[in-house]
Amino acid sequence: MALTINPINGMLGVEISGIDLSRPVDTETKQELNALFSRYAVLVFRDQPLSPPQFMKAAEVFGELMDQQIKQFVLPDYPLVGANSTKDLPRKNGKLQVRGENYHTDHSNHLKPPKATSLVAVEIPSYGGDTQFVDVRRAYADLPEAVKQKIATLRSMHVHQSSHSPRSFAKLSPEEMANIPHVLQPLVIRHPVSGEPALYLNTGRMEGIQGMSPEEGFALIAELYAHATQSIYEYRHKWRAGDMVIWDNRSVMHQANADYDPEEYRYLYRVMLNGEALIPAFE
């Protein structure tokens, strides 16, 4: 297959055409796509109106499908595929409470967080509802040396919902809550393929910094988050029905937007891929 590659924002994001993801992908193309995934962190494929089983196969080009933590939003016939639908969202003062607002990286409270998350757009509102990504590799690289030194070996406890979380998470059943992990994660991680260091942040789940007072720890998290979410590090994906986007949770944070007409329908399929325990960039 001859892929056409159009990088989006330097090393963040690439639009790939010349491939039909509803068909089997040969070994050479798989290798090429995986190399692009590690390098560009967000892959965008337009015009791929995949059915759930086709989407599962397409995502498996990049790894192994991960179990969905929140069972209430999965497709009954395909429990590894989540349904991201406006019809499931509560409203507050007329505004949809969308899942995934505020920049984050998925399930960071797991010992082995998902290496990737992917969405296929089935139906998209006439305006708004973009997904934003920020490159936490570049954000790390741009930090002053003194800050790099200070944070090199720091760790943060990631829990289900931080006491300082800017958002509320979906309500879980007592059985689901009983299985929710919490884990100490490095503040600076190393990518297992590229070896690149990156900030590892999730304000919704980080419960301070190990060895620091709560005030000092949360202040440092807020400072790093403000730095990493600057628009210079951003790619903002404007969805079209039939887009498949897959991103590397170790290289980017992402966020959803509730800026569309709540009466319009937004519906995407969502899968995650199993990851490994995170590698600290420095010991």
Pairing of strands 42-45, 244-248: antiparallel
Q: Based on the shown chain and the rule CB under 6 A, indicate whether residue 244 belongs to the binding site for ligand SIN.
A: no
What x-and-dash track marks residues 252-281 binding ligand SIN by CB under 6 A? --x-x-------------x-----------
Q: Name which of 122 and 220 has its Cβ closer to ligand SIN.
A: 122
In angstroms, give the least distance from the CB of 129 to ligand SIN: 7
Q: What is the DSSP letter of 88?
A: G
Contact 203, 105 (CB under 8 A): no
Please enumerate in sequence order all residues whose Cβ is within 8 A of that of 150, keeping only pairs 6 or more positions apart, or say none: none
Token couple for 102: 């505020």
Q: Which residue's entry shows tokens 């720091």?
A: 154
Q: Based on the shown chain and the rule CB under 6 A, indicate whether residue 117 belongs to the binding site for ligand SIN.
A: yes
Q: Based on the shown chain and the rule CB under 6 A, indicate whether residue 100 belongs to the binding site for ligand SIN.
A: yes
Token couple for 234: 């951003």
Q: Based on the shown chain and the rule CB under 6 A, indicate whether residue 229 belongs to the binding site for ligand SIN.
A: no
With contacts defined by CB under 6 A, how many residues of the chain interact with ligand SIN? 7
List the strands of the sheet with 78-85, edge to edge: 4-9, 12-17, 42-45, 244-248, 116-123, 267-273, 78-85, 74-75
Q: Name which of 105 and 220 has its Cβ closer to ligand SIN.
A: 105
Q: Name which of 227 and 254 has its Cβ closer to ligand SIN.
A: 254
Out of 68, 84, 202, 251, name the contact with ligand SIN by CB under 6 A. 84
In angstroms, give the least distance from the CB of 142 to ligand SIN: 25
In angstroms, give the least distance from the CB of 131 to ligand SIN: 4
Q: Name which of 129 and 280 has its Cβ closer to ligand SIN.
A: 129
**Secondary structure (3-state) at 224:** helix
Name the closest residue to ligand SIN (Cβ). 100
Contact 191, 251 (CB under 8 A): yes
Out of 131, 156, 165, 249, name the contact with ligand SIN by CB under 6 A. 131
Token couple for 124: 């998209």
Contact 234, 103 (CB under 8 A): no
Q: Name which of 151 and 272 has its Cβ closer to ligand SIN.
A: 272
In angstroms, give the least distance from the CB of 116 to ligand SIN: 11
In angstroms, give the least distance from the CB of 257 to ligand SIN: 7
Residue 233 and residue 22: Cα distance in Å, rounded? Answer: 32
Beta bridge partners of 206: 158
Query: Where on the chain is the footprint of ligand SIN (CB under 6 A)?
Result: 84, 100, 117, 131, 254, 256, 270
